[in-house]
Structure 1
Amino acid sequence: MLVLRPVELTDLPQLQQLARASLVGVTSLPDDTERLRTRILDSCASFEKHVEGHGPENYFFVLEDRSTQRLRGCSEILATAGFSEPFYSLRNRHFTSASRELNIEHGVPTLSLCHDLNGHTLLRGFHIDAALERTPSSELLSRARLMFMGAHAQRFAQAVITEIVGYSSEDGQSPFWDAVGKHFFDLPYAEAERLCGLESRTFLAELMPQYPIYVPMLPEAAQACIGQIHPAGQEAFDILEREGFETNSYVDLFDGGPTLYARLSNVRSIAQSLTATVQTAPAIDALGRYLVSNDSLTGYRAMVAELDVQPGQPVNLSAELCAALNVTDGSPIRLIAL
């Protein structure tokens, strides 16, 4: 039985194993013991903190197999991107030039360094065991974060974004980085991403060109990377696209991967989820598969379960499911059909 819960300090060794297996470009999951320890402690403090608005908090979740106590994945929410330092990205927009004498107007796509996305809530750190890809467990790992946000909306911004990892080759080469960032740092793409995970993207972004980059002047291979998704990042993209997230005019600073955006109130797992109360029962006549979570903060739990859900009625849960979800008779729960 797989259950999503807040991270704990005792998860550090297993979390570092997940970090070693994560995709290059998932900079929020660094393979560094002290950085991960700090991230875990910050998350624990965020869950304990009383807040009335979104701030610097980060909420780190792990997917645990309760029978083996093995971690199978992780995901995270940063309540406010750019709260303590600018959140840099590249704005992908057309620059229009015109000549009255020649009666010519021409638009050229450009990339401009910006921090327009400061203040948005950021989803990051999604990683799941390869054996669980394209299964309901992936939906749980990604979407249960959104259900948590629906239960505690005051902790988050009205808009939420996420960066999808862009294209890189099997040997860790990024045509986009080689054409843009490498000229300013003389670092391989994988090393730049590693440093970003260990430190921040600010010190790298501050050395990037401050003037627009004209896309047609980039090599064709680099141009093709703009907005392209790494094959291993496709599932994360697909799940959130079904949630109502859309691409916008921003791409990742290092690999040109797309940025997804949604209004929190329009996210499917929030807008279409049902709330109900728990009723313990020895047996369940399951009629459908659901994502189900409690509405707790530090005791947050979410899982996939076969249930009989009737709007306006209590939902029957077995004793095993109640224990996994950390709920009892009368506890509020949140559900959405898979």
Structure 2
Amino acid sequence: MLVLRPVELTDLPQLQQLARDSLVGVTSLPDDTERLRMRILDSCASFDKDVAAHGPENYFFVLEDLQAQRLVGCSEILATAGFSEPFYSLRNRHFTSASRELNIEHGVPALSLCHDLNGHTLLRGFHIDAALVRTDFSQLLSRARLLFIAAHARRFADTVITEIVGFSTDEGQSPFWDAVGKHFFDLPYVEAERLCGLESRTFLAELMPQYPIYVPMLPQAAQACIGRIHPDGQEAFDILEREGFETNSYIDLFDGGPTLYARTSNILSIAQSQTGTVQTGSHVDARGSYLVSNDSLKDYRAIVAELDVQVGQPVQLSAPMCAALNVTEGSPIRLIAL
């Protein structure tokens, strides 16, 4: 059985292996022992804190194969993007110029450096083992974060964003970076993303052009990357799009990948998840597949389970399900159909 849970310091060696295998552009998962160790400790402290409103907390989850005792994925929630330092993006909007004498009005798309997205809750760090791509466990890894937000709403903003990794070649080249960022840094795309993961995006963003970049002046290959998703990032995009997330006018600073946005209260797994109580049993008459979580904080757990769910009735769980969720008879749970 696979279970999603908060990260622990003992996960560090396996987490670093996940970092090595992750897609270039997942900068919140650096392949660096000390950085990952600090990320884990920061997450543990966030789960331990008693907070009344969203702040700098970072909630880091891992997906564990209980039988193999192996980590097969990870994902994160940053409670407030831009809390400690500006969260930079590129805003893609039209600039309109007009001439009364010639009776001409013309709009030109332009990219402007900004930190408009400060204050939103940020989903990040999604990575899953290649063998589990496009399975129910990908949904568990992504959507169980949303069930966590539903259970602990005061810890998060009323809007949620996520950046989807933009296009790069198999050789690690990004046409967007080559046309924009590389002119201001003597660095290839992969190295820029690595530094962003090790340090922060702030020091790189501060060296980016402070004036609008007119899109028609970029090479065609770079223009084609604006809002384009890396093939390996498509599943992360699809899952959240089905949740009600939408693209907006913001793109990633380095690779031009799209940013998704949603009102927290409108997200499917938050708005439509049900709560119930556990009824233990040796046999479950399965009628459908569900994401199931407890409503705990630092002992949070979530699984995929085949269940028979009847509105207003206790939900029968088998002993292995109860053990994975760390619940007993009468415990509260939260669930949503897959």
Query: For the superposition of Structure 1 and Structure 2, which TM-score range results when normalised by the shorter chain?
Result: over 0.9
Does 2:81 match 1:77? Answer: no
Q: Report Cα offsets for 1:26-79 as digits up to 9, x if no partner.
A: 000000000000000000000000000000000000000000110000000000
Distance 1:227 1:186 in 2: 24
2:231 equivalent in structure 1: 231
3-state SS of 2:224 partner: helix
Residue identity matched to 1:336: I
Task: Give every structure 1 segment of 4 or more consecutive aligned residues whose post-TM-superposition deviation is greater than 3 Å.
Answer: none
Does 2:98 match 1:98? Answer: yes
2:115 equivalent in structure 1: 115
Distance 2:221 2:160 in 1: 30
1:6 equivalent in structure 2: 6
3-state SS of 1:161 partner: strand
1:256 equivalent in structure 2: 256
Distance 1:312 1:45 in 2: 36
1:1-338 equivalences under 5 Å are 1-338=1-338
3-state SS of 1:35 partner: helix
3-state SS of 2:305 partner: strand
TM-score normalised by structure 1 residue count: 1.00
Aligned length: 338
Identity %: 86
Distance 1:163 1:192 in 2: 17
Distance 1:315 1:266 in 2: 25
3-state SS of 1:225 partner: coil
Q: Report Cα offsets for 1:255-297 as digits up to 9, x if no partner.
A: 0000000001000001111100001111111111100000000
Distance 2:324 2:291 in 1: 13
TM-score normalised by structure 2 residue count: 1.00
3-state SS of 2:335 partner: strand
3-state SS of 1:77 partner: strand
Distance 1:318 1:207 in 2: 56
3-state SS of 1:276 partner: strand
Q: Report Cα offsets for 1:218-274 as digits up to 9, x if no partner.
A: 000000000000000000000000000000000000000000000010000011111
Kindly state the Cα deviation for residue 202 of structure 1 after the two structures are TM-superposed. Answer: 0.3
Distance 1:318 1:137 in 2: 19
Distance 1:234 1:320 in 2: 33
Distance 1:319 1:238 in 2: 33
Q: Supply the RMSD in Å over aligned alpha carbons.
A: 0.4
Distance 1:152 1:274 in 2: 14
Distance 2:46 2:63 in 1: 19
Distance 2:139 2:181 in 1: 34
Residue identity matched to 1:158: D
Kindly state the Cα deviation for residue 215 of structure 1 after the two structures are TM-superposed. Answer: 0.2
Kindly state the Cα deviation for residue 186 of structure 1 after the two structures are TM-superposed. Answer: 1.2
Unmatched runs of 5 consecutive residues or more in structure 2: none
